[in-house]
Structure 1
Amino acid sequence: MKTYTRVLTIAGSDSGGGAGIQADLKTVSALGCYGLSVITALTAQNTLGVSGIHSVPPAFVAEQLKSVLSDIGVNAVKIGMLHAPDIIRVIADTLTGFGVRTIVVDPVMVATSGDKLLQDEAIDALKTHLLPLATVITPNLPEAGVLLNRPLNTFTDLQQAAADLGRQYPGAILVKGGHLHDAESTDLLYISPDEQILFPTKRIDTPNSHGTGCTLSSAIAAGLAKGFSLREAVNQAKTYLTGALQAGAAYQLGHGHGPVHHFFSIWQ
Structure 2
Amino acid sequence: MNTSTDVFFLPAGDEQRLCLFHAPAPASAERPRGRVLYLHPFAEEMNKSRRMAALACRALADAGFAVLQMDLRGCGDSSADFGDASWADWQADVRLGLDWLDTRAPGVPQWLWGLRAGCLLASADWGRPLNYLFWQPMTNGKLALQQFLRLKLAAEMASGASKGLMEQMKAELAAGRPVEIAGYRLGAPLALGLEAAKLAPAGAAGRVEWLELSTREDAVLTPVSEQAIKAWQDAGWSVRVQIVQGPGFWATSEIELAPALIARSVEALA
**Do they fold alike, i.e. is TM over 0.5?**
no
Report the structure number with the largest CA radius of gyration: 2
Task: Return the TM-score normalized by structure 2.
Answer: 0.43
Task: Return the TM-score normalized by structure 1.
Answer: 0.44
